Structure 1
Amino acid sequence: MRFSLFTGSCPEWTPDEVAQHCAAQGWDGVEFRIADQAPSATPGFWAGNRATFPLTGLENDAARLVDMSRRSGLALSGLAPYVPLADHANAERVLRVAAQTGAHRVRFTSPKPADDIGFDALFTKARADLEVLQEIARPLGAQVVIQIHHGNIVSTASCARRLVEGLDPQVVAVMHDLGNTTIEGREGLLSLKMGLDILGPYLAHVHIKNAVWQAAGTDEDGVVQWKWAWATLRKGMGDVKAYFRALKAVGYDGWVTLEEFTTELPLEERLADDLAFLKSSAAAAGYP
């Protein structure tokens, strides 16, 4: 098992600073955020993130990604461009860069439910798009990954398995995410193993973050309203230690990538603490 950091988690650092800090802390790799983002005077997770490479012209940064990886001793665990499955042109651009740099894996975004389009139509189109991306990725030696994500049409392992069923799991696969399934879509009340079991050979990557549901007020009828918020690994509703036990039970031994969107601790301190907790949780589950 190897641990990597999604660079969206450290908006104050440049890519070179990410590599320096991750190498010093003992991470095994990084997953770079790729986006044509909105400018912001203050670096933030979703705008003005300094640890982000632009999607437009990404091919021009391929050599820099390779050099950064070699100098720091960090592997590229994947690329995260937020490209929709339907955007075949940009999908090919990122898949080519993933192949060139050794990142190999690219995670794409599935459609969100829409009031004017039924689920079946969205699902059928997403499947057709995946088939196109499979044929783009196969000769490149790259891998298309869909992320189980709250708020879109693939919020459960069951739905993800249905979407990719019959495709080549070496080319099209699924990313499981503890934090996302804590918000929506977890399978297994007492064990996280069920959702991982459902994915079977399509489980290719794992993301870990955490979240919590909070009361958000009461309406005029006395009904309590709820909202979710990101939480630290130790304080969220997702049981990180149980998650590693479930991963061990299904034989997963690939990348585990941290996404950290809390700010309780200073950046360098919180990432070091997260890595220590991930490693201790994995060791407790029986990983060497």
Structure 2
Amino acid sequence: KMKISVFTVITPEFTPEEVVKRLAHLRYEGVEWRVVTVLKENEQETSFWKGNKCTLSLETLEEKADYIRGITEAVGLEICNLATYLKPNEFGKIEKAMQVAKIMECPQIRINAPSYEPGNSYNSLFQETRKNLEKVEKIASKYGIKALLELHMGNIIPSASAAHRLISFFDPRYIGLIYDPGNMMQEGYENWHMGMELLGEYLAHVHVKNSKWMIEKKNKKGVFFWRPTWARLKEGIVDWKEVINGLKAVGYKGYLSLEDFSDIPTEKKLNEDIEYLKSLK
């Protein structure tokens, strides 16, 4: 049975203490903590990626690990993932995050696949990442923690096929994948069910959000220019019923982790999205 969690990137105005209480009250089952390398204090604005109060810092994570685990468990939630932004070659920091994950009884951490920019050679980036992941796999096996890469626009694994090509060299106990249909609607879309079948045991976690495409402008020749943007969960292109049916069909039992970047106020979003997801399960 799939469980539902929240990725704290979307709760920037709440502290960790506030967020776990709210999530437990709304009957979420888990929390995916956002982890940055260094926390910038006193940022003026509060947004998903800046001044987010619900973000943990890798610098102080070890000393806070027991506390964070304590407040999470006290309200009956599980820590389902530590979502870092570490690159696959930051071995020392990856090891530190895995040590902390072990203390927190969290089974996995996210690391970032490298970005692809025209001018970079995809083939050399691929080989370099593969070599780095060999080391990451060794660290992961030492701690019994899984390192997850995310299907994400702009990186070298935007699709299930591209990701499978990279991770199929590794043991799925230690290297896994975050499936993200909202990202894949911007880049990397493939038939949901086919991608899930292809990924098999590597499919370890799912991010839940939605996207749509908008006409940005039209030039003098009548050519339309489109761009992707975030959408509310029920209003985007991803048919979440179809995604969840696919996940059921492949026997996925992990988390559906809410990462809804739409414009709904946080309280309302947390409330409405879980109701919607439960209706689809």
TM-score band (shorter)? over 0.9
Structure 2 CA distance for aligned equivalents of residues 7 and 217 of structure 1 = 34
Question: In the alignment, residue 216 of structure 1 is paired with which amino acid?
Answer: E
Match of 2:88 among 75, 85, 108: 85
Residues 125-183 of structure 1: per-residue CA shift (max 9 Å, x gap) = 11111110110011211111111111100001011111111311011111111101111
Quick one: percent identity of the two aligned structures?
A: 35
Q: CA RMSD in A?
A: 1.2
Residue equivalent to 2:137: 134
Higher relative contact order (CA 8 A, sep 6+): 2
Structure 2 CA distance for aligned equivalents of residues 231 and 71 of structure 1 = 33
Structure 1 CA distance for aligned equivalents of residues 73 and 193 of structure 2 = 36
Matched, 1:165 2:168: yes
Structure 2 CA distance for aligned equivalents of residues 217 and 226 of structure 1 = 7
After superposing on structure 2, the runs of 4+ consecutive aligned residues of structure 1 that deviate more than 2 Å are 36-40, 114-117
Structure 2 CA distance for aligned equivalents of residues 221 and 197 of structure 1 = 43
SS at match of 1:79: strand
TM-score (normalizing by structure 2): 0.96
Match of 1:114 among 114, 117, 126: 117
SS at match of 1:53: strand
TM-score (normalizing by structure 1): 0.94
Structure 1 CA distance for aligned equivalents of residues 249 and 197 of structure 2 = 9
Residue equivalent to 2:223: 223
Question: In the alignment, residue 268 of structure 2 is paired with which amino acid?
Answer: E
Match of 1:151 among 151, 154, 169: 154
Structure 2 CA distance for aligned equivalents of residues 247 and 70 of structure 1 = 27
Residue equivalent to 1:47: 50
SS at match of 1:262: coil
SS at match of 1:48: coil
Residue equivalent to 1:7: 8
Number of aligned residues: 278
Question: In the alignment, residue 236 of structure 1 is paired with which amino acid?
Answer: G
Residue equivalent to 2:256: 256
Structure 1 CA distance for aligned equivalents of residues 62 and 130 of structure 2 = 27
Does structure 1 conserve the Cα–Cα contact (< 8 Å) formed by 2:117 and 2:154?
no
Q: Displacement of 1:240 after TM fit?
A: 0.6
SS at match of 1:17: helix
Structure 2 CA distance for aligned equivalents of residues 136 and 46 of structure 1 = 28
Question: In the alignment, residue 70 of structure 1 is paired with which amino acid?
Answer: E
SS at match of 1:215: strand
Residues 179-217 of structure 1: per-residue CA shift (max 9 Å, x gap) = 0111111112xxx20111110111111111101010001
SS at match of 1:183: coil
- Structure 1, unmatched stretches of 5+, are 283-288
Structure 1 CA distance for aligned equivalents of residues 266 and 200 of structure 2 = 35
- Structure 2, unmatched stretches of 5+, are none
Residues 26-49 of structure 1: per-residue CA shift (max 9 Å, x gap) = 000100001124452121100000
SS at match of 2:33: strand
Residues 100-139 of structure 1: per-residue CA shift (max 9 Å, x gap) = 1111210110011134430011011111111101100112
